[in-house]
Amino acid sequence: MQPTKLRRHFDIFVFPIGVTPQGLNRSFLLNFYSESIKDGKQSQTIQSLVKLTGLGVDTIRRQIYREPRSIKDVLSDMYQ
């Protein structure tokens, strides 16, 4: 019930430039995952995120598993 109420409140928030509800959601996923994984229970953490957010397991995995790349690699891909 709380995520539904939060979504209603998002409509009346005035976010700074560049801050979006999607960015906040992603930030929540990444921070919750990185703090919870310290206990070493990856599957439990993902199941908790499924219950908290209502997102599917595949969606959560796509958001939290990022291939680490350097800034140089990213920029070289953009400007080739």
| Distance, CA of 45 to CA of 24 (rounded, Å) | 19
- Please say if the pLDDT value at position 4 is more than 80: no
Mean pLDDT of 39-65: 85
Main-chain phi, psi angles of 16, to 5 degrees: -60, 160
| Distance, CA of 55 to CA of 71 (rounded, Å) | 30
Residue reference for tokens 């140089």: 72
| Distance, CA of 47 to CA of 62 (rounded, Å) | 14
Look up residue 36 and give its two tokens: 């919870």
Total-model pTM: 0.59
From the centroid of its chain, how far is CA 77? 24
